[in-house]
Amino acid sequence: MTAAPPADRVALVDRYLQCCEDRELDEAQRLLATDAVLVFPGGRRYASLVAMAREAAGAYRWVRKHRDRYFQAPLADGDTAVTSLGTLYGEDLAGRPFDGVRYVDVFVVRAGRISEQHVYNDLALADLALADLASASGTNDPPSSRTRYRP
Protein backbone atom coordinates (compact mmCIF):
# COMPACT_ATOMS: atom_id res chain seq x y z
CA MET A 1 0.00 0.00 0.00
CA THR A 2 1.42 3.42 -0.92
CA ALA A 3 1.48 6.37 1.43
CA ALA A 4 -1.82 8.21 1.64
CA PRO A 5 -1.99 11.92 0.77
CA PRO A 6 -2.08 14.17 3.89
CA ALA A 7 -5.86 14.78 3.87
CA ASP A 8 -6.42 11.05 3.52
CA ARG A 9 -4.42 10.38 6.69
CA VAL A 10 -6.81 12.47 8.77
CA ALA A 11 -9.77 10.81 7.00
CA LEU A 12 -8.25 7.39 7.77
CA VAL A 13 -7.96 8.21 11.48
CA ASP A 14 -11.45 9.71 11.59
CA ARG A 15 -12.94 6.63 9.91
CA TYR A 16 -11.07 4.35 12.33
CA LEU A 17 -12.38 6.28 15.36
CA GLN A 18 -15.93 6.16 14.00
CA CYS A 19 -15.70 2.40 13.38
CA CYS A 20 -14.43 1.89 16.93
CA GLU A 21 -17.29 3.95 18.37
CA ASP A 22 -19.83 2.03 16.29
CA ARG A 23 -18.16 -1.26 17.33
CA GLU A 24 -17.47 -2.08 13.68
CA LEU A 25 -14.27 -3.67 14.92
CA ASP A 26 -13.62 -5.81 11.83
CA GLU A 27 -13.70 -2.70 9.64
CA ALA A 28 -11.54 -0.75 12.11
CA GLN A 29 -9.05 -3.63 12.24
CA ARG A 30 -8.61 -3.40 8.45
CA LEU A 31 -7.38 0.18 8.90
CA LEU A 32 -4.59 -0.95 11.24
CA ALA A 33 -1.17 -2.28 10.26
CA THR A 34 -0.78 -5.97 11.08
CA ASP A 35 1.70 -5.12 13.84
CA ALA A 36 -0.15 -2.06 15.18
CA VAL A 37 0.54 -0.93 18.73
CA LEU A 38 -2.52 0.20 20.75
CA VAL A 39 -1.65 1.94 24.03
CA PHE A 40 -4.39 3.21 26.36
CA PRO A 41 -4.36 5.19 29.63
CA GLY A 42 -2.28 3.60 32.35
CA GLY A 43 0.03 2.13 29.70
CA ARG A 44 -2.42 -0.68 28.91
CA ARG A 45 -1.43 -2.32 25.63
CA TYR A 46 -3.75 -4.34 23.45
CA ALA A 47 -2.96 -6.86 20.77
CA SER A 48 -6.39 -6.43 19.17
CA LEU A 49 -9.41 -4.16 19.10
CA VAL A 50 -11.56 -7.04 20.39
CA ALA A 51 -9.40 -7.25 23.54
CA MET A 52 -9.63 -3.48 24.00
CA ALA A 53 -13.44 -3.49 23.61
CA ARG A 54 -13.80 -6.42 26.01
CA GLU A 55 -11.89 -4.57 28.73
CA ALA A 56 -13.72 -1.30 28.04
CA ALA A 57 -17.05 -3.06 28.62
CA GLY A 58 -16.03 -3.36 32.27
CA ALA A 59 -15.34 0.37 32.57
CA TYR A 60 -18.43 2.08 31.15
CA ARG A 61 -21.70 1.31 29.34
CA TRP A 62 -20.74 3.38 26.33
CA VAL A 63 -18.50 6.25 25.33
CA ARG A 64 -18.23 8.37 22.18
CA LYS A 65 -16.10 11.30 21.04
CA HIS A 66 -16.73 14.85 20.00
CA ARG A 67 -13.76 15.01 17.62
CA ASP A 68 -13.04 18.74 17.59
CA ARG A 69 -9.68 19.11 15.83
CA TYR A 70 -6.99 17.19 14.03
CA PHE A 71 -3.32 18.02 13.64
CA GLN A 72 -0.79 16.20 11.51
CA ALA A 73 2.96 16.39 11.16
CA PRO A 74 5.57 14.51 9.15
CA LEU A 75 7.94 12.31 11.15
CA ALA A 76 11.64 11.91 10.39
CA ASP A 77 11.18 8.33 9.16
CA GLY A 78 8.56 9.32 6.57
CA ASP A 79 5.56 8.33 8.70
CA THR A 80 2.92 10.88 9.69
CA ALA A 81 1.68 11.72 13.19
CA VAL A 82 -2.04 12.51 13.34
CA THR A 83 -3.49 13.88 16.58
CA SER A 84 -7.19 14.04 17.40
CA LEU A 85 -8.37 16.42 20.14
CA GLY A 86 -11.81 16.60 21.64
CA THR A 87 -14.05 15.48 24.45
CA LEU A 88 -15.66 12.22 25.48
CA TYR A 89 -19.28 11.69 26.46
CA GLY A 90 -21.16 8.60 27.50
CA GLU A 91 -22.52 6.66 30.44
CA ASP A 92 -20.64 4.95 33.26
CA LEU A 93 -21.53 1.51 34.63
CA ALA A 94 -23.81 3.05 37.27
CA GLY A 95 -25.84 4.74 34.53
CA ARG A 96 -24.47 8.23 35.20
CA PRO A 97 -23.99 10.31 32.06
CA PHE A 98 -20.79 12.25 31.50
CA ASP A 99 -19.75 14.81 28.93
CA GLY A 100 -16.85 17.18 28.35
CA VAL A 101 -14.08 14.76 29.34
CA ARG A 102 -10.91 15.76 27.51
CA TYR A 103 -9.06 13.32 25.26
CA VAL A 104 -6.05 13.30 22.96
CA ASP A 105 -5.40 10.41 20.59
CA VAL A 106 -2.03 10.32 18.84
CA PHE A 107 -1.65 8.07 15.80
CA VAL A 108 1.24 7.12 13.58
CA VAL A 109 0.21 6.45 9.98
CA ARG A 110 2.62 4.38 7.95
CA ALA A 111 2.05 3.25 4.35
CA GLY A 112 -1.65 4.09 4.45
CA ARG A 113 -2.43 2.24 7.70
CA ILE A 114 -2.44 3.11 11.40
CA SER A 115 0.67 1.61 12.99
CA GLU A 116 0.31 3.18 16.45
CA GLN A 117 -2.47 4.59 18.61
CA HIS A 118 -1.73 6.31 21.93
CA VAL A 119 -4.80 7.31 23.96
CA TYR A 120 -4.80 9.94 26.71
CA ASN A 121 -7.94 11.12 28.53
CA ASP A 122 -9.39 12.37 31.80
CA LEU A 123 -11.95 9.56 32.27
CA ALA A 124 -10.47 8.54 35.61
CA LEU A 125 -10.87 12.12 36.88
CA ALA A 126 -14.44 12.22 35.56
CA ASP A 127 -15.21 8.94 37.36
CA LEU A 128 -13.99 10.49 40.63
CA ALA A 129 -16.02 13.66 40.07
CA LEU A 130 -19.20 11.72 39.31
CA ALA A 131 -18.68 9.45 42.33
CA ASP A 132 -18.22 12.54 44.52
CA LEU A 133 -21.46 14.05 43.16
CA ALA A 134 -23.37 10.83 43.79
CA SER A 135 -21.89 10.53 47.29
CA ALA A 136 -22.78 14.15 48.12
CA SER A 137 -26.37 13.58 47.04
CA GLY A 138 -26.58 10.41 49.15
CA THR A 139 -27.61 8.33 46.17
CA ASN A 140 -26.06 6.44 43.32
CA ASP A 141 -28.49 8.08 40.92
CA PRO A 142 -27.17 10.34 38.18
CA PRO A 143 -26.99 13.94 39.44
CA SER A 144 -28.52 15.13 36.17
CA SER A 145 -29.02 13.97 32.63
CA ARG A 146 -26.41 16.47 31.40
CA THR A 147 -23.56 16.14 33.89
CA ARG A 148 -20.63 17.98 32.47
CA TYR A 149 -17.18 17.26 33.80
CA ARG A 150 -14.77 20.17 33.77
CA PRO A 151 -11.16 19.65 34.92
pLDDT at 143: 43
The C-alpha torsion from 18 through 118 and 55 to 65, rounded to 10°, is -30
Half-sphere exposure of 99 (CA within 13 A, CB side): 9
pLDDT at 149: 38
**pTM (two decimals):** 0.80
Neighbouring residues of 24: CB distance < 8 A, sequence distance ≥ 6? none
- Strands 44-46 and 113-121, by their bridges, are unpaired
Condensed to tens digits (0 to 9), the pLDDT of residues 10-30 reads 999 999 999 999 999 999 999
Q: Could you count the other beta carbons within 10 Å of the beta carbon of residue 39?
A: 15
Condensed to tens digits (0 to 9), the pLDDT of residues 138-150 reads 555 444 434 443 3
Across the range 37-50, mean pLDDT stands at: 90
Q: Which helix (H) or strand (E) holds 52?
A: helix 49-56
Condensed to tens digits (0 to 9), the pLDDT of residues 60-74 reads 888 999 999 999 999
Q: Sketch out the chain's domains with CATH numbers.
A: 6-137 (3.10.450.50)
Average pLDDT score, the chain: 84
